[in-house]
Amino acid sequence: MPIYNRVILTGKVAKSAQRRYRPDGSPVIQFPLELNHQEDPVAGEGKSLIDIVAFGKLAESELNLLQPGQPLQVEGQLKQRRWQTPEGRNRTSVEVIATDLRRLEEEDFTKV
């Protein structure tokens, strides 16, 4: 049975994208996407952030177009990273490795 790892998220860019470069010189961008969901009386206001990472041509073409507050649809794969801090604490992070980024108009975003 094949296993699929594909997610499609719709949210708003929470902060400006950070750019860095891989050892081969190709660009990488990373930014948080704010996801809205129904308010949970226990958890609070109903918003969460997930890190989005894009590589290569996608990172190159989108960096200057991603502004905080921009409605965005992200398609990609979930990736979990694990590492240990210098103090010996185990850390885990979940992010989406983007394969497609689509800017949405504000009126389209409210329909989603």
Q: What is the pTM of this model?
A: 0.81
- Evaluate whether 47 touches 34 at the Cβ level (below 8 Å): yes
Cα dihedral 27→20→59→68 (10° resolution): -160
Helix (H) or strand (E) holding 6: none
What does the pLDDT look like over 92-110, one tens digit per residue? 999 999 999 998 887 655 5
Helix (H) or strand (E) holding 40: none
What does the pLDDT look like over 5-37, one tens digit per residue? 999 999 999 999 999 999 999 999 999 999 876
Domain 7-111 bears CATH identifier 3.90.1150.10: no
Take residue 41 and report the two structure tokens written for it.
């009386």
Q: Residues, the chain, total?
A: 112
